[in-house]
Structures are given as structure tokens and as C-alpha cells.
Structure 1
Amino acid sequence: MEEKQYSSWKIIKRLLSYYSKKKHLLLFSCTLIFLSTITEISSPIILSNFINNILKNRIVKIESIIFLTIYFITLQLLSSLFNYLYSIYFSKISTDIVQELRIKMVEIALKQPMKIFDQKPISSIVTKITSDTESIKEFYEVIVSSFIKSFILFSIILTTMFILEWRMALISSIIVPIIIIIITTHQYYSKPIIKKIKYSLSKLNNTISEIINGIAIIQQFNQEKNFIKKIKIINNINYSNNMKMLKIDGLLLRPLLNLISSIILSVIILIIKLFPTEIIKISILHTFINYLRYLNEPIVVIANQQSLLQQAIVSSERIFRFIDSPIQIYGKYTDPLKSGKIKLHNICFSYPNTKKTILKNININIPDKSCIALVGKTGSGKTTLSNLILGHYPTTSGILYIDDKPINSLSNETLRKNISIVQQDPTILYDNLIKNVSLNRNITREKVIQALHQSQLKELIDTLPNGYMSILGQGGNNLSQGQKQLIGIARILVSNPKILIFDEATASIDSESEQKIQKILSSIRKKSTVIIIAHRLSTIIDSDLIIVLDHGKIVEKGNHNQLLQKKGLYHTMYTYQNNNNSL
């Protein structure tokens, strides 16, 4: 599929479209900017009239000086007040828009297909939601407000200059096309470099995240120097790109300021040289000198914000690509499932952007409230098959039925309410035990406590300092693997799903925890269809059906005794494990 193109103008247009919900607040803010600008540029005109009166009457009245002083102070106070108010309102608008963007991005992230998380590091998505949105906030809070003020200031001053003396104003306006050329050139050269800077920062965040998450492994295998070297390489690339950006700013923006100053000086010289002084009043000449300074200010502001603008454009492109990326598509069937019956008909599956076929012509009928075990060597396709049943990936070919309905016809809500999984390493939140089980679902405290007791967790609760309200450590680092598994089971018990998948749930726990889980499983089997993915074959002896996978194909089916009698792959695996356990 052809990648969508994002031009700078389209990005800016899309960013500005977010103002549509805040038109009234934006209009009020622009009015404040206009009033601020008027009060700011009124001073030279008043001073011009004051000088004109002095030259005309040859008298300086004390009343006029007092009046002028009061007027100046009033104008400055009003200008400061208007500046303060429009800054507050623009800040409010920008914060609201960025908040809206972040919520939208989190919603999109939650609806992304699983392949996105397989292909991209999680920290790159975090960088977009946090760092890139801050660049956009600067666009709304700083760049837009400064541009509006600069445009109003430039327009009013230029108009006033043409009214006062059109010849001098015409010479002054020559600077406009020069500025446009310089800004366009800056944008052309800076945008690719800013993209590289953003990429290197994202890569730096990913590497730091890897180091923090894998610190135990890094220290165990003495890899500290290699990771420090990796960080240095990324930092050097980032430094090199930042230096290139500074050079572009230095070559294009700084000389621009000098050019403006030179043009201002040239204008004054040309005015004095070309036009007789008797035609131009001294008061007008004084006003023009002041206005040329004001005319310089908006141009300088716009020029200095080019780097910020390009950063905002690059960040916006990254964000809009993420927002526009395809989301996981689900069906429209929202009614509760009547049973946990599963049927897989000629299922084939390959992961996106790979040629290898993981599952080949899988055909399985799983009756309601039965217990099915999936076994096989590592890489045989067991977990992939469970991901298809969970609806995380669409099948490449074939049809998967849940409760006699094609899985792609079921809504996300129906799938999540009726199909649950207990993973090998359940995620534990940095929160209390009650919240870790309820997960903010509409479940009563009494039901959560009942599920915790059913999950054989009373012994753990008694040891916690604040019982049910005790805060569990980050990632459950103060819990054993078995306790994590039991909390994962408690999450399932409060929702009573029609289908429950145990993905290697007993692979790395002690015998006591395994016995607890087996006891819980026997009660769950009376209410739900249970699918167990297991390496430890002793845990699935009582299963109604054992399916043996090898290289993505079903090679054997049957119960424990039937498979042992066949003396095939299952018999080999079971015998090998028994021999190892007896040593």
C-alpha cells in the first residue's frame, strides 16, 4: 500500500483545523492581540503630534508633558494587560488541543492491531504521545500567537506608514519578499535534519528503555560497556544533526537580522538623500524611525521561530501518521455468547511482512465446557493459535468460529467479555490488590474479594500490611511467580468468560502453586471451555482432548492414554519429561 504523503502546508492546515471547536475563544484572543498591538504602536503617533506642536507653537506646556506622561503610562499598562490576557487564553487553547490529541492517540494505540506492537518498540509510541505533542503545544501556544500578533502589527504599521508618507513606506516594504525567500529556504534545508533529530531521540528513548528494563541481564552478562557505547553512538549522531541545524540557523536567520538592520539604515539614508527635508515633517520622520523598529520586530520573531515551526511540523507528521494508521477491525455482533464452542476450519496463518507459514490447515472442533490442551515443541504454533482465538490477528485463510459465529463478525466488546487469557507472566499494576483484580471494571468489592479467596490468595492477603488495599510493587516485584498467576486467575473469576486460555500458566511456578491452579481449573471447567498451552505435560493428563502441534501442523489428537498408545511425538515428549523428573 502506498504511503500517505504529508506536505508542510497540509500539516499546518490540519493543525489549524483543531481551532474549529474553539472559534469563540480564538476570536476573543485575537481581539486581545489587536488591542495590545494598537496600544503598543499608539505611542509614536502621540509623540509625533507632541513634537509637531512644539515645533509649531515653540512652547512646551507643563500640562502637555503631564498629559503625555499619563497617556504613555496608561498605554503601557493596557498593553501589558492585553498581552497577559491573550497569553493566558492562547495557553488554555493549546493545552486543550494537546490534551485532545493525546487522548485521541491513546485511543488509537488501544485499537491498534497486535502486529504494530510486534514491529515497533513501545517507547516509540510513548515518545509520540509525550515529546511530539509538546512540540505541537509550542506551535499553538507560541508560534500561532506570535504569528497572529506579528501579522497584525506588521499590517497596521505598514498601513500607517503608507498613510503618513507613501514613498518611505514603499521603500520599507521591499524587505517582505526577501524575508519570504529566506524563510522558504530555511524550511527546505531544515526539515530533513529535524526529522533525523526526532528519529535519533526516539531511538535514544528506546535504548534507555531497553537498558532500564533489562538491567539485570545486562549486569549478569557484563554488557555495561557495550550499552554505554551504543548510547554514545546515538548521542553523537544526535549531536551532529543538532550542529547542522545550528549552522543552518546561523547562516540564514542571523544574517537575516543584520540584513534587516542594514535595510532600515539604508531606508533612512535614502529618505534624507532623495527627498527634500522640507517635504517631510520632522515629526513624521521621527514616527517612521520608530515604526521601522516596530516593523523589524515581527519579522525577527517569525524568523527566530522557524526552527520551532519545523520541529512542530515534523512532530505533527509523526503524530498524524500514527492517528491515520489502520485500527483493528471487529464485527458488529454485540450479544453475549451462549456457549464456548470453538471450531477451526482449514486455518492457515502467517505473520504480517513474513513469508513463513506458522499454522497450516488447522482443523479442530472444541465442544462447550471441554478442556483442550495444546502441546508441542517451542515454535510449533501453540501461542499463535491462542492469539487467533483471542481475535488479536485475522486468519490468513480458513474460518474460525466462536459459538457457531465467524470470529470476524463478533464485536470487540463481545470478544473481551467472553474470551480471557491467563498469561505466563501476568502484568501487575502499581496499585492495590482490589484494583489489580477489578482493573476498573464495574465489579463490586465483595465479588473481587470472593474471587481472591477462590484463587487461594488468602495466605498472601494475610501477609500484606494493609490487606486488600496494600499497594503491590511495580510489575509485581514483591510477589512470587505463582502469586502473580493466582492474581491473573482472580481477574478471570470475576468475569466468568465462556472461553479461558492458560498460556504456559504453570511453566515457571512451584509445585504448591501448581496444585492450587489445578484445583481452581477443575472448578472453572464446569462453567467454561478451557484451553491449556503447556510444556509441563503432567498438568494436562486429565484434559478431554490433547492436540499435538509440530511445525504449525496437527500431528496427533486424543486423550492422554490414547496418545501414549500411539507411541508418537507425545509419547516421546512425555517419556523424556518423566525420565528427567526421576533423575
Structure 2
Amino acid sequence: MEENKYSSWKIIKRLLSYYSEKKFSLIFSCMLIVLSTITEISSPIILSNFINNIINNNTFKKKSIILLIIYFTILQILSSLFNYLYNIYFSKLSTDIITELRVNMMKIALQQPMKIFDKKPISSVVTKIVNDTESVKEFYEVIVSSFLKNFTLFTIILTAMFILEWRMALISSIITPIIIIIITIHQYYSKPIIKKIKNSSSKFNNTISEIIKGITIIQQFNQEKNFIKQINIINQSNYINKMNILKIDGLLLRPLLNLISSIILSSIILILHLFPTLIIKISILHTFINYLRNLNEPIITIANQQTILQQAIVSSERIFKFIDSPIQIYGNDTSLLNSGQIKLHNVFFKYPKTKKNILKNININIPDKSCIALVGKTGSGKTTLSNLILGHYTVTQGIIYIDKKPINSLSHKTLRQSIAIVQQEPTILYRNLIKNISLDRKIEKKKIISALKKSQLKELINNLPDGYMSILGQQGNNLSQGEKQLIGIARILVSNPKILIFDEATANIDSESEQKIQKILSSIRKKSTVIIIAHRLSTIIDADMIIVLDKGKVVERGSHEKLIKKKGLYYLMYSYQENKKSL
């Protein structure tokens, strides 16, 4: 069913539908094509009349030669002008459509469920938005443009040929069904190979991205040769596929078409020889042969562009599958939360296409403006639970209430404005400090500066060359882990969310930064519900309630003192960390 939905003809029809809102520009471009074609094919007719006059009058007239030169010059200028205007308008049309397509894809990407990015590398999405849209751009700029021009040229020339000599024109028109058969065969054999080429390109981009991101690890473990070998394997596969395409093109396109054209021309000569009584004027024969050559060119051009067409179809299939993929669904309740109260009732969760539940029968009540800590071994379900509260995933069974409202009733805007997270590795943009905090939100500069001071970043600001306006390095490479975390907190402070989640925020930072974060947390707790996913148990001793997870279940809950007295899993984890400190 899906293959039928993304068949070649349906993809082409869908691509052409983007012209629906640009009808007038398209019609104007087509008019320019017709005018350009008429002026282009008028030259042989004028030359034919000139030859006919010479034969009939048996003399060269100076006036006729001057007129011929003037007509030729005017026609060439007009043809060039119409062709230039047509190319400009068509390029503008193509650019507008691709811009619209890329913006649409970015909107879809930003609305994709988080599970999509768990399964696919980010670079594959980038490849679709950048590389695949470039192939589609060639469909509009090269294929559609060329097809309209060459089809118009072919139709007008063939009509003129039938007017001049219908018998010879009939023989010449035999080439049309042959071309259709050749194009169909080419499409059948080339499309699977082009799919492999596109997949190889995507795989190549993913591998390069992994190598660049992990260059330190690769060098540390002396794995350069292994990664070079991977690149060579992908390149070799790509080379073989491209050579196969060249073989198909070399066999089915220009050489074969040239052979067919030669056969047709030979057939016309043979007819003239077999039927000597058939009288054809020399001027008509001259014009006819010119037209026959021009008739073949548009067909050969269209046929030669089959590879570009197939690349565009394959790229379009990848793009449309991405556009048609399901987006994250949110509720319609746009009212802001009045409190940070959270309730999880009989919550189960498992990832799509898996049988194992990651979370099992979770029941937790979190009062407004309380501080809750989630602890447990790696893989116990802490981060998954926080993602459910953020609305990134939908529960498999059970229900989550935020401010006494089912989470699936809340709109995207409500969730993002009311619930925030400080991640273990905050993303730092290649922008100045102010823009890294605002993230293009409409926030007053004074409020941002106040949040930066509250986030204990005064020392960092003083050390930056241009203070608040200093450009931070790519991914914050010139910042310490603690400074990145404080910037992440500053982003939160400007929005005052009702619920704040700290996901292992103090796991990889120095003790000084940890103390700063603890101080900030003390003030945040007065205004917001705080959920801390903790690795260092010493940082959550003051939490109102500590929830211990193990294998997706809540096995213990209570204050630090209560859990220590219980001497269960939390006690063992805490004792292990304390003993490790004393060594």
C-alpha cells in the first residue's frame, strides 16, 4: 500500500501540485516558452522562402539578402530575450517552492515525537532537508523547465513538419512511442540503483558526522584506520552503483536515440529513392532536414535527463515520507498551570515495537512547590519518567495529571511554558551569551541579565572578552561543564516554570559549581516544583521526598533519614558513595 502511495507518477503529481498557488507565474513562464520557441523555429522557414525565391528567380537580390539578415537578427534577439526571461521566472518559481518545502520540513522536524530521534541519527534528517531538497530543486529547475520547453519545441516542429510534408512527418513521428518505451525501461532499471546511491550518501554523512563528533575517542583508541576503512567501503559501494547508472545511461539514452534518428532519416531517403515521382521542393527538403535535427534534440535532452529525474523522485520519496510521518499530538488546553502539582496513576510505559515495559505500575503524588528526587541504578527508568512528565512520550497505560489536568489535554505551549528541564549536557549555541539565554524568545534584556546574575555567572561574564555580547564557542567548547549547567539554569530562570526537572545536572561538575547550583535550587524551590534526577546522592539529602526506582518500579520512597533507617537499596547506594569518598 505504501509503495503505491509513493509510486513515481504519484510523486511527480505531488511535486507538480506545488505550482497550484503559483499558477499565474507558471502560465506567464509558459507563454515565454512558446514565444521563444516560435522565434527559434521561424529561422528555417525564412531561409526556405529565401532559397525558393533564388531558385524561382535564378538571381540574388541585394534587398532580399539585407531583409534576411535583418529578420534573422531580430528573431535571434527576440528568442534570446524570451529565453532569458523564461529562465529567470522559472528559477524564481523553483527557489520559492524549495524554500516553502524546506520551511515545511523544518516545521515537521520540530514537531516530531522524541522517539523518532531515538531511532534515527540527526544527520539523516539534515541530509533530507539539505541534500534531498537540492535534488528536488533540480526537478523544478531542470526537469520541468526543460520538459515544458522541449515539449513545446517538439509539438510546434512536428506540426510544422506535417504542414510541409505529412508523409515524411508521419515517418519521423514514429520516434515518439519508441522514446516512451526507452524512458519506461530506463526508469525500471535505474530507480532501485538511485535509491541505493541516496542511502549510501546518507550513510556517508552519518559516518562523517560520527567521526567528527568522536574524533577524540577515535584518536585515543587508535581507530583511525578502521573508520577510514568504513568510509572506503561506503565509497566503493557508491562508485559501483554510479557506474551501473552510467552503463544504463550509455546504453539506453543518447547512443540508442541517435541510432533511431539515423534509421528514420535513412527511411526518408529510401522513400524518396523508391518513389521518384514524389516531387519535393529543395527549399522544403532543406527546412524538413533542419526540423528533423531539431526534432531529435528535445527528445534526446528529455531522455538524457532521466537520471536527474529518477534522483529527484527518490529524494522526493524520502522527503514526503518524512513530511507524512506522524507528529507529536498535544491537547487543546492552552491555559497556563496554576500549580506544579503532579500525579502519576498506574503508569506503565514501553517503547514502540518492544514488549518489555520500562516503567511498571508507577504511582506518585508530588505536591506543588515540593522537591522530589528520583534515584536508582542506570536503566532503572529515571530519565524515561522525566520524559513522560515533560510530555515527550505518551504513557502505554495509566494517566499523568499536571495541576489536576490529564497531561494529554494540555497544549504544546502550556507544557513548554510550564515545565522546563536542565539537562546533563545543555546545548550551547554559536551565539552571544544574551541570545543563548533568550533563545529568540521575546524577553527583556534586563530580565536576562538579572537571570545571569542569579545563576552565579558573574565571574564568567567578567572573564569573557565582550561580556554579555561575547560569542560562545561551538557547543560551548570554551566553557566548563559547570558553566554550561549554570547557563542552562539561567534559561529557566527567565521563564519561571511551575515545574523544573534537573536531569543529572550535577553529575559531571566540580564541587564549586555544585555549591552554586544548590544555592540556586534553594531559591527556585520557593516558587516551583523541583524534580531532581540524581547521581550524587549527597546533593539530594534535603529533598522533601526521595523516590527509589529499580527495574522500572518504585521500590522505596521517603526522606533521606527515613530511607537510611530502612537500610534498603537507597542505604546501600548511599553507603557505597560515602565509602568511595573516604578512600
Shorter-chain-normalised TM-score: which range? over 0.9
Corresponding position: 1:279 with 2:273 = no
Given that residues 19 and 26 in structure 2 are in contact (C-alpha distance below 8 angstroms), is that contact kept between their aligned partners in structure 1? yes
1:561 alignment partner in structure 2: 561
2:430 alignment partner in structure 1: 430
Within-5 A mapping of 1:369-518:
369-518=369-518
1:95 alignment partner in structure 2: 95
Tell me how far 1:2 sits from its aligned partner. Answer: 6.5
Distance 1:70 1:326 in 2: 63
Within-5 A mapping of 1:123-202:
123-202=123-202
Corresponding position: 1:325 with 2:320 = no
Within-5 A mapping of 1:307-318:
307-318=307-318
Distance 1:290 1:346 in 2: 82
Given that residues 369 and 530 in structure 2 are in contact (C-alpha distance below 8 angstroms), is that contact kept between their aligned partners in structure 1? yes
Given that residues 342 and 402 in structure 1 are in contact (C-alpha distance below 8 angstroms), is that contact kept between their aligned partners in structure 2? yes
Aligned in 2, Cα 1:354/1:4: closer, same or farther, shift over 3 Å?
Answer: farther
Any idea what SS the aligned residue of 1:373 has? Answer: strand
Tell me how far 1:316 sits from its aligned partner. Answer: 0.4
Tell me how far 1:271 sits from its aligned partner. Answer: 4.0
Amino acid at match of 1:248: I
Given that residues 172 and 267 in structure 1 are in contact (C-alpha distance below 8 angstroms), is that contact kept between their aligned partners in structure 2? no
1:529 alignment partner in structure 2: 529
Aligned in 2, Cα 1:414/1:381: closer, same or farther, shift over 3 Å?
Answer: same
Tell me how far 1:54 sits from its aligned partner. Answer: 1.0
Tell me how far 1:42 sits from its aligned partner. Answer: 0.2
Deviations 1:137-163 (A, max 9, x none): 110011101101111111111111111
2:263 alignment partner in structure 1: 263
Amino acid at match of 1:91: S
Distance 2:13 2:418 in 1: 44
Tell me how far 1:536 sits from its aligned partner. Answer: 0.3
Distance 2:477 2:236 in 1: 35
Distance 2:79 2:3 in 1: 48
Tell me how far 1:277 sits from its aligned partner. Answer: 6.2
Given that residues 29 and 86 in structure 2 are in contact (C-alpha distance below 8 angstroms), is that contact kept between their aligned partners in structure 1? yes
Aligned in 2, Cα 1:380/1:191: closer, same or farther, shift over 3 Å?
Answer: same
Any idea what SS the aligned residue of 1:392 has? Answer: coil
Tell me how far 1:280 sits from its aligned partner. Answer: 1.1
Given that residues 506 and 514 in structure 2 are in contact (C-alpha distance below 8 angstroms), is that contact kept between their aligned partners in structure 1? yes
When structure 1 is superposed on structure 2, of 2-11 and 54-63 the one drifting more is: 2-11
Distance 1:522 1:475 in 2: 28
> How many residues end up aligned between the 2 structures?
583
Tell me how far 1:275 sits from its aligned partner. Answer: 3.6
2:69 alignment partner in structure 1: 69
Tell me how far 1:260 sits from its aligned partner. Answer: 3.4
Given that residues 161 and 169 in structure 2 are in contact (C-alpha distance below 8 angstroms), is that contact kept between their aligned partners in structure 1? yes
Tell me how far 1:3 sits from its aligned partner. Answer: 7.1
Any idea what SS the aligned residue of 2:5 has? Answer: coil
Amino acid at match of 2:85: L
Given that residues 168 and 267 in structure 1 are in contact (C-alpha distance below 8 angstroms), is that contact kept between their aligned partners in structure 2? no
Tell me how far 1:59 sits from its aligned partner. Answer: 1.7
Amino acid at match of 2:39: T
When structure 1 is superposed on structure 2, of 523-532 and 75-84 the one drifting more is: 75-84
Amino acid at match of 1:228: I
1:208 alignment partner in structure 2: 208
Any idea what SS the aligned residue of 2:495 has? Answer: coil
Distance 2:271 2:30 in 1: 35
Given that residues 264 and 292 in structure 1 are in contact (C-alpha distance below 8 angstroms), is that contact kept between their aligned partners in structure 2? no
Given that residues 426 and 484 in structure 1 are in contact (C-alpha distance below 8 angstroms), is that contact kept between their aligned partners in structure 2? yes
Amino acid at match of 1:422: V
Distance 1:405 1:112 in 2: 24
Tell me how far 1:264 sits from its aligned partner. Answer: 4.1
Corresponding position: 1:60 with 2:69 = no
Any idea what SS the aligned residue of 2:363 has? Answer: strand
Distance 1:301 1:374 in 2: 66
Tell me how far 1:57 sits from its aligned partner. Answer: 1.3
Deviations 1:55-74 (A, max 9, x none): 11112100100110111111
2:360 alignment partner in structure 1: 360
Given that residues 260 and 296 in structure 1 are in contact (C-alpha distance below 8 angstroms), is that contact kept between their aligned partners in structure 2? no
Distance 1:366 1:450 in 2: 30
Distance 2:247 2:553 in 1: 60
Aligned in 2, Cα 1:161/1:250: closer, same or farther, shift over 3 Å?
Answer: same
Tell me how far 1:270 sits from its aligned partner. Answer: 2.7
Any idea what SS the aligned residue of 1:327 has? Answer: coil
Given that residues 431 and 471 in structure 1 are in contact (C-alpha distance below 8 angstroms), is that contact kept between their aligned partners in structure 2? yes
Distance 1:133 1:111 in 2: 19
Amino acid at match of 1:108: I
Amino acid at match of 2:289: I
Amino acid at match of 1:289: I
Given that residues 175 and 261 in structure 2 are in contact (C-alpha distance below 8 angstroms), is that contact kept between their aligned partners in structure 1? no
Aligned in 2, Cα 1:302/1:328: closer, same or farther, shift over 3 Å?
Answer: same
Distance 1:397 1:255 in 2: 64
Deviations 1:375-428 (A, max 9, x none): 001110000000000000000100000000010000000000000000011000
Distance 1:288 1:164 in 2: 8
When structure 1 is superposed on structure 2, of 249-258 and 153-162 the one drifting more is: 249-258
Given that residues 254 and 300 in structure 2 are in contact (C-alpha distance below 8 angstroms), is that contact kept between their aligned partners in structure 1? no
Corresponding position: 1:344 with 2:344 = yes
Tell me how far 1:272 sits from its aligned partner. Answer: 2.1
Given that residues 190 and 310 in structure 1 are in contact (C-alpha distance below 8 angstroms), is that contact kept between their aligned partners in structure 2? yes
Tell me how far 1:441 sits from its aligned partner. Answer: 0.3
Distance 1:275 1:564 in 2: 111
Tell me how far 1:268 sits from its aligned partner. Answer: 3.5
When structure 1 is superposed on structure 2, of 443-452 and 572-581 the one drifting more is: 572-581
1:570 alignment partner in structure 2: 570
Aligned in 2, Cα 1:349/1:538: closer, same or farther, shift over 3 Å?
Answer: same
Any idea what SS the aligned residue of 1:486 has? Answer: helix
Amino acid at match of 2:475: G
Amino acid at match of 1:580: K
Aligned in 2, Cα 1:297/1:2: closer, same or farther, shift over 3 Å?
Answer: closer
Report the aligned-residue RMSD: 1.1
Given that residues 257 and 300 in structure 2 are in contact (C-alpha distance below 8 angstroms), is that contact kept between their aligned partners in structure 1? yes
Deviations 1:110-137 (A, max 9, x none): 0001111001111111000001100111
Amino acid at match of 1:469: M
Distance 1:349 1:408 in 2: 15
Amino acid at match of 1:34: V
Any idea what SS the aligned residue of 1:426 has? Answer: coil
The unaligned stretches of length 5 or more in structure 1 are: none
Distance 2:81 2:240 in 1: 43
Distance 2:278 2:54 in 1: 17
Tell me how far 1:261 sits from its aligned partner. Answer: 3.3
Any idea what SS the aligned residue of 2:347 has? Answer: strand
Any idea what SS the aligned residue of 2:352 has? Answer: coil
1:289 alignment partner in structure 2: 289
Distance 1:438 1:152 in 2: 54
